Structure 1
């Protein structure tokens, strides 16, 4: 049996001991070409240290072989031996044919470390040597994408797309759709998503198109593609929320509510689904269900501010002052400084004639709400009712500053002065 077949069988069996024994045999009896093939086989199978061991032996035999240095350096980076990998890459001389490839490997390393400027410098060095090399241009585009330089990345991707549809296993129409979306140019992303879907249909591509269409306010297109996502993968959880939101933007609240409830049958632990279900139920006047959805969102995440604020707003509008007080006091007892809730608590306590607590919450709310004329108006009248004329005067002055043309604040200040 050929040694390569023995390696295959040992790899498939997960027999590391046999793999190690075969490596020793390989180094003693096989030609360098066969050893190189086995090293690549091991690396592709995930036996990185064993593959590197074979490459290290080959490098011992051919110490000046640049390609071996590059191959070994790439594996060493994978197994967190970066220092040795960098030594190998930086030892490759500029006059060799492999030097641009070494620069690209160095760029990959710096990019993984978040050293984007150093990575870009290495790619630019390689491009000076090989300005038309598509792999280098693609690598620079990928780096620019990660850096958030979307316009520059798009220019390079589109230049590449004029000559090829795919590079390094990446379809350029997909990448352009992704980059345009990342840069919030959703109208430009849509045709690239549609082109990509002519080659293959996947839930991710359909959802990407649906999301871009939603952001571009093409809600009908978004709904169609999201329903296709559900058909292809009923458990594609993100589709349910976006579908409900798209129906809502079309003012089809019944379909929106039905979509979000279907989502909850698929994922009963998604707080965002419960929040949106609560909001849709409120729009439809199903207040009991709305409250239940919002409370469930808070159960899943007691620090979910948006759900808590929605619930408190609902309870306030329903004049359920005791429930408002109970909820806000519970949050306050947990030392959560959510000043957005304090005006509701202040009003609720005032209605319940607990003026001491109402004053406490008005005072707490003042810092973050002193630019809010509606809050300030309620606060000033509360202070007047409580006989706190000096404080009411100060709030009145602030109101006049916010609304200089409002005569009643001028009259108030004059009367209090």
Structure 2
């Protein structure tokens, strides 16, 4: 009894050296049932190698005890000794009562390896043996959810939820909320989130409720849940963007900007926060702040196209052509082409009298804007001024097709053909 208590004390104190010093005497003096119990205690407190050593000893003493083999093999899996673990699992016959546990452990292993079809095969075999076992149904639902087969997973979760509220320490209502949210069944998801929040509150639940309400265009509810999240966990960074977007949808742009600024103060490496802050600054008639936020977004990701586009648009409207050129040239170094940006680039290079570059970007933009009259009008007059009459004629003919009632285009075509 003394060595047993000493071992328990050492485990509770986290004294690894003492655990090791006591281990051999512990194996000799303590009865096997107590050793098995202590192995579980070691496992729960994170002394996995030591627990596995105890189980190895017990396996030597009782080579036909399948449960000891399963427990030991599971620990070996946890310590990346998969080959030895698999060999132990293979020793357990298919007609053993414990064999479904083997299949469940193997399914978990294959799932972690990303071999989902193999994992599903193990679970289906186990369910053939124990078709009503809730833990197996839950494992199958978890696997299906990870595989993206969300409707199948939801059916299994719902079947389990009718019989029990929790399994393996997981509240099934929370899983149902999550699987429906991921599957874009937002009304079902939101109802399950509300049900889950009646009994407990967590940042993940509040975020899920906020997201689902937002997708349902229930912006007041989204704000309520989002504010609760902000109070409960101010460092739940993803909540700030969603909350700010909800305020923006309620046309409270001032509060939206305040919220997103708070988010940036807590996470200064999220480009989406800076982009949205830029948009909200524009909505609040703060162009200088908007520009700064957008530049921060682009600094985090030079190819963040939405931020680049808005920033270039602002610069172009103010004819800050050299800055437009600088941004465009930074992208061009990576052989990156985006026709929408090229519209601005062409205008800026034209004003800078860098006509070759202006022409290049007009050509790039033309690939996507062949039906855009406003763009084609600028393009045709640029070509005329640049002396490219043949190309200008082609663009003029397109304009005639698009606007047959506009005589200026047919007049242009006639001039070119004269």
Is the pair's TM-score, using the shorter chain for normalization, greater than 0.5? yes
Name the structure 1 match of 2:120: 120
Name the structure 1 match of 2:300: 300
Give, in angstroms, the shift of residue 348 of structure 1: 0.9
Seen in structure 2, the aligned counterparts of structure 1 residues 48 and 370 have a Cα distance that, compared at 3 Å, is: farther
Name the structure 1 match of 2:103: 103
CA distance in structure 1 between the aligned counterparts of 2:378 and 2:305, rounded to whole angstroms: 24
Give, in angstroms, the shift of residue 4 of structure 1: 3.7
* Unaligned ranges ≥5, structure 1: none
Name the structure 1 match of 2:389: 389
Name the structure 1 match of 2:69: 69
Seen in structure 2, the aligned counterparts of structure 1 residues 405 and 219 have a Cα distance that, compared at 3 Å, is: farther
Matched, 1:335 2:306: no
Seen in structure 2, the aligned counterparts of structure 1 residues 370 and 110 have a Cα distance that, compared at 3 Å, is: farther
**TM-score normalised over the length of structure 2:** 0.91
Moved more, 206-215 or 378-387: 378-387
**TM-score normalised over the length of structure 1:** 0.91
Give, in angstroms, the shift of residue 207 of structure 1: 1.3
Runs of 4+ in structure 1 displaced over 6 angstroms?
Answer: 397-401, 404-411
2:4·2:26 contact (CA, 8 Å) conserved in 1?
Answer: no
Seen in structure 2, the aligned counterparts of structure 1 residues 24 and 415 have a Cα distance that, compared at 3 Å, is: farther
Seen in structure 2, the aligned counterparts of structure 1 residues 322 and 36 have a Cα distance that, compared at 3 Å, is: same
CA distance in structure 2 between the aligned counterparts of 1:92 and 1:399, rounded to whole angstroms: 79
Name the structure 2 match of 1:170: 170
Name the structure 1 match of 2:40: 40
CA distance in structure 2 between the aligned counterparts of 1:312 and 1:126, rounded to whole angstroms: 60
CA distance in structure 2 between the aligned counterparts of 1:53 and 1:271, rounded to whole angstroms: 49
CA distance in structure 1 between the aligned counterparts of 2:282 and 2:336, rounded to whole angstroms: 27
Matched, 1:89 2:86: no
Seen in structure 2, the aligned counterparts of structure 1 residues 87 and 364 have a Cα distance that, compared at 3 Å, is: same
Give, in angstroms, the shift of residue 12 of structure 1: 4.4
2:337·2:364 contact (CA, 8 Å) conserved in 1?
Answer: no
Give, in angstroms, the shift of residue 367 of structure 1: 4.7
SS in 2 for 1:162: helix
Seen in structure 2, the aligned counterparts of structure 1 residues 184 and 397 have a Cα distance that, compared at 3 Å, is: farther
Deviation sequence 1:104-130 (CA, Å, 0-9, x none): 111111111111111111111111111
Moved more, 353-362 or 168-177: 353-362
SS in 1 for 2:285: coil
CA distance in structure 2 between the aligned counterparts of 1:48 and 1:400, rounded to whole angstroms: 79
CA distance in structure 1 between the aligned counterparts of 2:170 and 2:400, rounded to whole angstroms: 61
2:7·2:26 contact (CA, 8 Å) conserved in 1?
Answer: no
CA distance in structure 1 between the aligned counterparts of 2:88 and 2:376, rounded to whole angstroms: 69
CA distance in structure 1 between the aligned counterparts of 2:125 and 2:296, rounded to whole angstroms: 56
Seen in structure 2, the aligned counterparts of structure 1 residues 411 and 152 have a Cα distance that, compared at 3 Å, is: farther
CA distance in structure 2 between the aligned counterparts of 1:215 and 1:396, rounded to whole angstroms: 45
CA distance in structure 1 between the aligned counterparts of 2:396 and 2:43, rounded to whole angstroms: 75
Give, in angstroms, the shift of residue 64 of structure 1: 1.8
Name the structure 2 match of 1:149: 149
Matches within 5 A, 1:10-409: 10-332=10-332, 334-335=333-334, 337-339=336-338, 340-367=340-367, 374-395=374-395, 403=402
CA distance in structure 2 between the aligned counterparts of 1:101 and 1:183, rounded to whole angstroms: 30
Give, in angstroms, the shift of residue 281 of structure 1: 1.0
Deviation sequence 1:114-170 (CA, Å, 0-9, x none): 111111111111111111111111111111000000000011111111111111111
CA distance in structure 1 between the aligned counterparts of 2:143 and 2:135, rounded to whole angstroms: 12
Deviation sequence 1:71-109 (CA, Å, 0-9, x none): 111111111111111122122112111011111111111
CA distance in structure 2 between the aligned counterparts of 1:274 and 1:179, rounded to whole angstroms: 30
Deviation sequence 1:244-287 (CA, Å, 0-9, x none): 10011111112212222232333344332221111011112211
SS in 2 for 1:74: helix
CA distance in structure 2 between the aligned counterparts of 1:398 and 1:78, rounded to whole angstroms: 68
Seen in structure 2, the aligned counterparts of structure 1 residues 372 and 41 have a Cα distance that, compared at 3 Å, is: farther
Give, in angstroms, the shift of residue 373 of structure 1: 5.8
* Unaligned ranges ≥5, structure 2: none
Seen in structure 2, the aligned counterparts of structure 1 residues 129 and 406 have a Cα distance that, compared at 3 Å, is: farther
